[in-house]
Amino acid sequence: MKRALPLAAAIAAASLMVAGAGWAGTHVHDHGYSTGWSDDSGSEFSYGIVAPGENSMTVVSDMQDWESVRDRVGSDEPALWFRLRGETWVVRDRDWVDRAMDITRPMREIGKKQGKIGREQGEIGRYQGRLGAMQGRLGAEQGALGARLAAISMRLAMRERRGGSTAELEREKDRIERRMEALADRQRELARYHEPHGERMADLGARQAELGELQRKASRHANAEMRQLAEDAVDERVAERLR
């Protein structure tokens, strides 16, 4: 598996679902169409479903198959297209498209769950990023104060050797040390905020891994059923060959 991403855009309010023999990742471009990467792009069978109104999809095929027929298939009406033994076909009969949607429904449902978890991971990541930025600013101030404290300590040592007054330097040293202690307390507080979110991220990551395995199994199962559906569509002359 290369990568998987939730999808929320489509061509003219349509969603494209593409599938093949292996499971792969997806991406939506600014133009609204999706692309996929497959570990089995050389398969003799691949398929896709154009489903207007759908707002999520799973792509499991070499995107080159779809790009080669996208304009001819269109995206305004429901359609099932597939490449079988080197020939490309399209089915526009709604009952057959609905059958394809039923077969691939588990993949879409799993994909929606993955998308929901991904959004939560993103929110936590952004929150942790803000915490990290705050810690970074505190760390920079701590570093600057540390340098000032070192310089003051050297000046104090020199004045003491010369018998000069150190009261002013002592007061400044005390102010810096109090500030550094406050910054250290703040750093510890921010670190505590990180802990539960880190645990949640670990839980979400484990759940994503589980869903990823379920998605691979669902993809293999759907591919077998979709291939049989494609064979039947050709045999029953429901499918139109694209030339």
Write the single-letter amino acid at 120.
E
Q: What is the pLDDT of residue 44?
A: 74
Q: What is the pLDDT of residue 111?
A: 86
**Do the domain assignments include residue 22?**
yes
Q: What total of structural domains would you count in the chain?
A: 2
CATH number at residue 171: 1.10.287
Q: What is the pLDDT of residue 119?
A: 93
Whole-prediction pTM value?
0.64
Q: H/E/C letters for each residue in the chain? A: CCCCCCCCCCECCEEEEEEECCCEEEEECCCCCEEEEECCCCCCEEEEEEEECCCCCCCECCHHHHHHHHHHHCCCCCEEEEEECCEEEEECCHHHHHHHHHHHHHHHHHHHHHHHHHHHHHHHHHHHHHHHHHHHHHHHHHHHHHHHHHHHHHHHHHHHHHCCCCHHHHHHHHHHHHHHHHHHHHHHHHHHHHHHHHHHHHHHHHHHHHHHHHHHHHHHHHHHHHHHHHHHHHHCCCCEEEC
Burial class (CB in 10 A: 0-12, 13-18, 19+), 38: buried
**Do the domain assignments include residue 9?**
no
**Do the domain assignments include residue 4?**
no
pLDDT per residue, tens digit, the chain (243 aa), is 333 333 333 323 333 444 444 444 433 333 333 322 333 444 578 888 887 765 434 344 556 666 667 677 777 788 888 888 888 899 999 999 999 989 988 988 898 899 999 999 999 999 889 999 999 999 999 999 999 999 989 888 888 888 888 888 899 999 999 999 999 999 999 888 888 888 889 999 999 999 999 988 988 888 889 999 999 999 999 999 987
**Do the domain assignments include residue 50?**
yes
**Do the domain assignments include residue 3?**
no
138 and 211 co-located in one domain:
yes
Q: What is the pLDDT of residue 76?
A: 74
192 and 179 co-located in one domain:
yes
124 and 210 co-located in one domain:
yes
Q: What is the pLDDT of residue 162?
A: 84
Q: What is the pLDDT of residue 199?
A: 85
- Give the range of the structural domain holding residue 93, as residue numbers without chain letter: 14-106+220-242
126 and 72 co-located in one domain:
no
